[in-house]
Amino acid sequence: MSADTAMMREPSVQRPTAPGIKRFLRRFASNKLAITATVLLGVLITTSLAAPLLAPYPPEAIDVVNRLAGPSPEHWLGTDSLGRDTLSRLMHGGRVSLAAAAFAVSIAITFGVPLGLIAGYLGSWVDWIMGRGADVLMTFPAVILAIAIIAATGPGLVNAMAALGVVYAPRLFRVVRGATLAVREETYVEASVSIGTPAYSIVTRRVLPNILSPLLVQISLMLAAALLAEAALSLLGLGVVPPTPSWGNLLGRGFTEIRTTPLLVWFPGIAIALATLCFNLIGDGLRDSLGRETRKGD
């Protein structure tokens, strides 16, 4: 008993509810999968962003002699049916795919987070109305709605991703609202009210920082889903318009040559799988190192 209490007193800095950034970093760093994923994703993002500098060829450069070639010193990952360098197109495609995912998620954040905060903090009929609105949006299958919008407005990734963002918004709304409901009951919020702090200030300075962990987890998982959705739309030819490459439409064009050059499907497929996996692993890592409710043992 006395040994227990002595042990408990010793690392007082490491109280389980401590929000310390250091503690989070230490926990996150000890999660090897999450660290690997972060590094890998960093590489993917950097090579995509720096594609114009790093890529060996312009994405539209045609090398007719080496059509549908396998990996070679000139074309590390081979070429497609027009002799375009797969590596260069993958790198450029990453820009489109990752940007599209980020765009959709930022739309979802723009709508979901503020509305979730408002609904969770104000409660009562405001919460009820917003909740029903979210329910309605949640009933739409994300990709189907995006397809419907593209059918109405014509192919184009911006519209599609905006639509995707709107459909994803209720999911963030749900997470934010739920977390806000919990934080609102905390005494420190009541303390702020008793000080006379305006509601807006309480929400941005007291509530938001304290719901950040579930929010970050949700965002990273949502990025993975948005990336897949972009791939699905572009695969169907509803996303970005060729010849601009994206991982999705690279995959789609690869299908036509799947019998002769299966590698054309493999590489974008691997890129998509890898990025999605990275987002998910990072999300899991964030949840394990930030989350209070998923802690095991204590």
Partner 1 sequence: MSQQIVSSQPLVEVKDLSVTFSKKRLFKPTRVVRAVNGVSFEIAQGETLGLVGESGSGKSTIGRALLKLVPMESGSVRFDNTELTTISRAEMRRMRRRMQMVFQDPYSSLDPSATVAASISEPFRVHEGLSAKQAWSRVQELLEVVGLRPSHANRYPYEFSGGQRQRVAIARALALTPHLIVCDEAVSALDVSTQNQVINLLEDLRDEFDLSYLFIAHDLAIVRHIAHRVAVMYLGHIVESGPAERTYQRPAHPYTQALLSAIPIPNPERSNRAGRILLRGDLPDPANPPSGCPFQTRCPYAMDVCREVMPAMTAVDGGGQVACHLQTAGPELNGRSLMDADVEVVR
Tell how far CA 222 is from the center of its chain: 4
Which parts of the chain fold into alpha helices (H)? 2-9, 21-29, 32-49, 51-54, 86-122, 124-138, 142-153, 157-184, 187-195, 199-202, 208-210, 212-235, 247-256, 263-290
For residue 79, the cross-strand partners are 85
Q: Which is nearer to partner 1, 142 or 189 (CB)?
A: 189
Q: Which of residues 230-259 bind partner 1 (CB under 8 A)?
A: none
- Alpha-carbon distance of 4 to 135, in angstroms, equals 48
Please select the residue that binds partner 1; options are 1, 11, 53, 198, rule is CB under 8 A: 198
- With respect to partner 1, which residue has the nearer C-beta, 135 or 190? 190
We find the least distance from the C-beta atom of residue 4 to partner 1, in angstroms, to be 17
Task: Give, as ranges, the residues between 98 and 157 that touch partner 1 (CB under 8 A).
Answer: none
**Can you tell me which of 76, 188, 200, 255 binds partner 1, judged by CB under 8 A?**
188
Please identify, using beta-carbon distances, which residue of 151 and 193 lies nearer to partner 1: 193
Show the site string, 199-228: x = touches partner 1 by CB under 8 A, - = not. --x---xx--xx-x----------------
- Least distance to partner 1 from the beta carbon of 217, Å? 16
In the shown chain, the binding pattern of residues 2 to 21 toward partner 1, with x for contact by CB under 8 A and - for none, equals ----------xx-x-xxxx-
Segment interacting with partner 1, rule: CB under 8 A, options 29-37, 164-172, 192-200, 272-280? 192-200
Distance of alpha carbon 41 from the chain centroid? 11
User: b vs e for 234-246, b when ≥16 Cβ sit within 10 Å of the residue's Cβ?
Assistant: bbeebbbeeebbb
Q: Contacting partner 1 (CB under 8 A), which of 70, 72, 190, 204?
A: 190
Q: What are phi and psi of 74, to 5 degrees?
A: -75, -45
**By the rule CB under 8 A, 73 interacts with partner 1:** no
49: its two tokens: 């962003």
- 25 lines the binding site for partner 1 (CB under 8 A): no
85 - beta bridge partners?
A: 79
Pairwise CA distance, residues 77 & 257, whole Å: 15
Residue in 115, 97, 136, 255 with CA at minimum distance from that of residue 178: 115
Q: Which of 31, 88, 192, 289 binds partner 1 (CB under 8 A)?
A: 192
Indicate the SS3 state at residue 244: coil
29, 50, 193, 270: residue in contact with partner 1 (rule CB under 8 A): 193
Interface with partner 1 (CB under 8 A): 12-13, 15, 17-20, 186-188, 190-198, 201, 205-206, 209-210, 212
